[in-house]
A and B are shown apart, each in its own frame.
Chain A
Amino acid sequence: MKRVMKLVGWHWHFVRFPFALLCGIYGVQQILLLLLSASNTDKIGVKLADLFMNCGQFPLFFFVLYLVLLVSASANQNRGRSHTTYTLYTMPFSRMVLPVAQMFLCLALLVIFAAWQVLLYAAAFVPVSMLSAGTMAGVVSGNIPTGNLLDEINANPLFQLLLPVRLGSWLWLVGFFLLLSVQSACVAVCHGFRRIAAMFAAMITAGVGAGALYLRYLIATDHTEESGVFLLLAFLLAAAILPLILNLVSAAWALYRSETL
Chain B
Amino acid sequence: MRHANKHPGLGLAIFAVAAVAVFGAGILARLTGLHRMQTTLVEETGDRNTLQGFTISGYTRFQAENTLTHFTLQNGRLTGETIPEQVRMPENAQLPSIFNDDLNIITVAPEEREAVNRQASFGGNTATSYAKNFWIMREINLPDNTSLRLHIANKTADTPVEVVSYPNARSGMDWSASNDYLPETYPTWADEIRVQWNDNWMIGLNKESVLYQPGIWRVTESLTEEEVEALPLDGAVQYADGTINVLCKSTEYGKAELFYVPQNLDTILECDTLGEYLGILYRDTKGDIRFDLVDENAVCVQQALISEGTGTEISHSQTNTQQPDQLCYILGLQQGTVWRVILLQMNDAGQLECINLPGDLLQDGRQLPGTTVIQRSADGQYVLFVGREESQLQLTRLFQEEETTSYPIGYRMNVYDLNTQTVVYSGLLDTGADRIWGSYVDSPDFIYYGLAGELLSLSRDCYTVFPQQAQEG
Q: Which residues of A contact B (CB under 8 A)?
A: 5-6, 8-10, 12-13, 16, 33, 36-37, 40-47, 49-51, 53-56, 58-59, 105, 108, 111-112, 114-116, 118-119, 139-145, 147, 149-151, 153-157, 159-160, 162-166, 169, 217, 220-223
Contact = CB atoms under 8 A, between A and B. Distances in A.
A55 B455 contact: yes
Nearest to B445: A42
A9 B34 CA distance: 39
B11 A16 contact: yes
Contacts of A162: 26
Given A153-B29, A163-B23, A222-B87, A12 B8 contact: yes
A40 B397 contact: no
Nearest to B9: A9
Contacts of A160: 65-66, 85
19 contacts: A8-B12, A40-B450, A44-B438, A45-B437, A46-B438, A47-B435, A50-B438, A50-B457, A53-B457, A55-B452, A139-B396, A141-B393, A150-B36, A155-B64, A156-B64, A160-B65, A163-B26, A163-B29, A220-B85
B456 A112 contact: no
Contacts of A116: 19
Which of A51, A169, A222 has the most CB atoms of chain B within a 10 A radius of its CB? A222
A54 B456 contact: yes
A142 B19 contact: no
Contact of B23 (A44, A49, A118): A118
A212 to B, nearest CB: 17
Nearest to A49: B458
Given A139-B397, A142-B392, A221-B85, A45 B457 contact: no
Contacts of B99: none
A190 to B, nearest CB: 24
Interface of B: 4-5, 7-12, 15-16, 18-20, 22-23, 25-27, 29-34, 36-37, 62, 64-67, 84-88, 391-398, 409, 434-435, 437-441, 443, 445-448, 450-458, 460
The 7 closest A-B CB pairs, nearest first, are: A9-B9, A45-B438, A150-B33, A56-B455, A115-B19, A115-B22, A9-B8
Nearest to B7: A9
B397 A143 contact: no
A50 B8 contact: no
Q: Which of A5, A13, A58, A163 has the most CB of B within 10 A?
A: A163
Contacts of B395: 139-141
Contacts of B440: 45
B16 A112 contact: yes
Contacts of A144: 393, 437
B66 A221 contact: yes
A108 B62 CA distance: 34
Nearest to A145: B434
A44 B448 CA distance: 11
A140 B66 contact: no
Given A111-B19, A163-B26, A9 B12 contact: yes
A115 B29 CA distance: 14
Contact of B26 (A40, A118, A151): A118
B448 A42 contact: yes
A9 B9 CA distance: 3
B19 A112 contact: yes
Contacts of A40: 448, 450, 452
Contacts of A140: 393-396, 441
Contacts of B457: 50, 53-54
A43 B450 CA distance: 11
Contact of B452 (A6, A36, A139, A159): A36
A105 B393 CA distance: 53
Contacts of A53: 455-458
Nearest to A10: B8
Chain A CB count within 10 A is highest, among B16, B437, B458, for B458
B296 to A, nearest CB: 35
A51 B448 CA distance: 11
